[in-house]
Chains A and B, each alone.
Chain A
Amino acid sequence: MKAISRKRWLPLLAAGAMLATTLAGCSGGGKTDESAASATPSAENVYKEKYDPPVTISTAWGVDPTLTFKNGETIENSVATKWAKDQFGIDIKSLWSVTDTNGAFGTKLRLAMSSGQEMPDILTIGTADNQIAQDLIDSGMYEEVGPLFDKYASDTWKAAIDQDPNVWNAYMRDGKKMGIPVLDYAYNHDYLLWIRQDWLDKLNLKAPTTIDEMEKVMDAFKNQNPDGLSPDQVVPLSIGFKTSMNTWMGDPSWIFGAYGTLPQQWNVDADGKLAYGSIQPGMKEGLQKLSDWLKKGYIPQEAALWDENKTAEPAVAGTAGIIPGPYWMSGWPLKDTVQNSPDAVWAPIEIPAGPDGKAMRHGTQFTNGVTLIKKGMEHPEAFFTYQNYLFDNYANPEPGSQYDNGLFAGYDYQLDADGKQLPIEEIDGGYVNVVRYLLVRDGARIPDAQMKALQSLAEGNEPKTKLEKDVAVNYGKETPAAAQVLLKQDAISYKNMFSGPTTETMKSKMDYLNKMENQTFNEIIYGKKTADAFDEFVSTWKAGGGDQITTEVNAWYDQVKK
């Protein structure tokens, strides 16, 4: 019996092997694409404001899960695709779309490539999927964009991108620009400290400007709480380390900034080289400080378990005294604090300085993704027609111009009988964040435009332009003042200077190094190891691939640095 069944396995295995070959045969179609289409687009293409007969641009969508649709529309067939057709004579052809949660867009892109599906002409990929963007560039399927950009992009767009030439860095290969960075508003995730002004006032304290002063304030918040909370109920400083020591809300990285380094990012050192922030000597002092604060109960006892949203909870509950976060936090989530603690007043303050008067915070890149253009795309200039128009007319529209109220009436704005803008809650059928229907997410953003608008409001001017009105309505009333606080410290904002593709050694070693780093740091903070464990970590880090990674990172940096 057994012998029989064993023999019967053989044909089965053979069949399996055959199937494997079949599969192999029907995949990998992307490769043929590449060889067939390596020619540069033909020279006779002419840039036009409107194409007649219409031209086609194919794309694929990673749909934001919160994006809504109305009037039976879909991402493939929406008010924005109709608009593209009418306005520019551009047919937007959707190859596929996917709701982008759990990294579904990146996965689907990889699967589409694996199964040899047609790849889109124009593809916009967010920073979260940076790895796949880098892979696509390396696949050779996508075109060098530098010459196209120089030839076709409008002056507004070029000026916007020139605000920070580093935005190209991530997409450079051998000095060639392989992808157009998607611009975003500056300082969006730079942070400052939000502090309970009402508590400060009741305690007769001034906003802290140094780490030492801050300790006194935190101690007073905890032990003489003005709202009468018992010490164990108060979280004087709400921060968390679960995901990272360098994040966007409840962030602890400025504490290390006070001692001269920012963890988990690459900073330019005194010699102009890139150095990994987590191994600099300042870290040790910062960790000791945090350890001390944990012991004294200034930071949450569960900080190692807390992610960003968790740190907001005590802030909203009215039990936290200070929370680091973006300048727009008064609009969300802090505006709900008064419902739980009626006297609560949050005020934005500057990042405090360390013993040497030094302060640092991590900066926000001016970009949140990249747009790729496929090799052999018939009309790459059509993409520029589309995008130039948005930069020239929509990115910062003049008062009274066509897009002064928004992009599409009945979607992101609606006017009443007198031509006045309705609050967005009253739009028939609901507000739609319609810029997410566009080929490039968020349409077109000029990095400094939003801060300028806020600045103008902070100076007491009435909102006039679309952006000013937008921030005035949607960003909470303390936001302009907060933006000013943020800008006052723009000199201490340091971006992660490494934005290139994962290096060879990073691929094999970085995960372990990160793990060891997080573990050591948290153990020091929790007093399970002494601060000397830090020195040990640094030498292990260097020997365990860190030095090699630093070399590779600098090799990359030398190539892109201007």
Chain B
Amino acid sequence: MGTWILRTEGDPAAVLAVDEVLCEHRGHWLIREITAFWKRSLKRLDVSARTLVALIEAGSCFAGTLAELALAADQSFILDGQVADRDLPAPVLVLSEVNDGLHPMANGLSRLASRHWGHPDRLDAARSAFGKELLAAECLDLGLVTFARDDIDWDDEVRLMLEERAAFSPDALNGLEASLRFVGPETTETKIFGRLSAWQNWIFLRPNASGPEGALRRYGTGSRPVYDHRRV
């Protein structure tokens, strides 16, 4: 499974009501734990070696904390308008104060600030839309989604994107996504998951570590490892 498609179902107002409790009782030990657990879970999405695609469809509830799923995605689609023959209203994205720092990424920034890195005006525009039910066109204007598609094109366009993605080298996609997700400042955490882990994972593949004469394989055997001493 190289791609994770992120969807939600429910009432955006209900999600925002839960967020309000999280914010109102921020100092309470249990709320602190719940919020911290959300933060870490969302961070785990950020460091996942999977393509993340958010689909904002009719009946969805990408609001507040759950809007973080859309902001965590590498690409996102929102349905523009209603679905023919269905009673559901056109889907919306709703941002709130919780998207402004309650769930920071490893770089210390919110996903919203990371998205608009280097464009404080765009970040401010998104902030001024907090609490509003943003339809497809507004989401596009505010740079909050990648694509808006109507009901007629939706299935084909989404499928095409997923098929294209599945045809790319998974290794190149890992590198691409990890490089684009974390903008701006480095922290201990970004260095561990980026620099340290990336080097380690490369070293793991090299014969000097994992080859038959490599150090990992030779450890404990009594014979010394044989290294290729050329620096790469």
Q: A and B, one complex?
A: no
B-contacting residues of A (Cβ < 8 Å)? none
